[in-house]
Structure 1
Amino acid sequence: MAALAWLLIPLVAAIGAGLWGSWANRTRKVRSDGPELIGYARFREAMERPRPGS
């Protein structure tokens, strides 16, 4: 019975690895980078403006 337990441990680990691998490779919904890029452009413009009083 102990030998069966030692054989089941790698089997369960392989099944778990297969499930995790399929979950990690799932296709994800691609979201738009529009708002992030607009915010970054506004930030860059603000950093390029000269400071008042300098």
Structure 2
Amino acid sequence: MASLAWLLIPLFAAVGAAIWGSWAARDRTSGDISELAGYARFREAMGKAEQTRAKADAHSGSGSDAV
């Protein structure tokens, strides 16, 4: 009976390794589309903020290096 227990340990390890291997090799490209869209929105918002800041500097006439 003890030898059967020692044979089950590598069996469970192999099954665990197979489960982990299939999980690690899964296809994770489905989330990339939403992440790229979010990054595009972020860049657009940062561009608008930069344009707003440039307009404010141009109207105030002080420039960005004024103290």
On whether the aligned pair clears a TM of 0.5, the verdict is yes
Aligned to 1:37: 40
Regions of 4+ moved over 2 Å: 40-47
TM-score, normalised with respect to structure 2: 0.53
Find the aligned partners of 2:46 and 2:6 in 1 and give their Cα distance.
59
Q: Relative to total residues, which structure has the larger helix share, 1 or 2?
A: 2
Unaligned runs of 5+ in 1: none
Residues 1:7 and 2:23 are matched in the alignment? no
- Higher relative CO (Cα under 8 Å, sequence separation at least 6) belongs to 2
Find the aligned partners of 1:46 and 1:19 in 2 and give their Cα distance.
47
Residues 1:19 and 2:49 are matched in the alignment? no
The percentage of counterpart residues that share the same residue type is: 44
TM-score, normalised with respect to structure 1: 0.62
Q: Which protein is bigger by CA-based radius of gyration?
A: 2
Task: Give the Å deviation of 1:42.
Answer: 3.8
Task: Give the Å deviation of 1:31.
Answer: 2.7
In angstroms, what is the RMSD of aligned CA positions?
A: 2.8
Unaligned runs of 5+ in 2: none
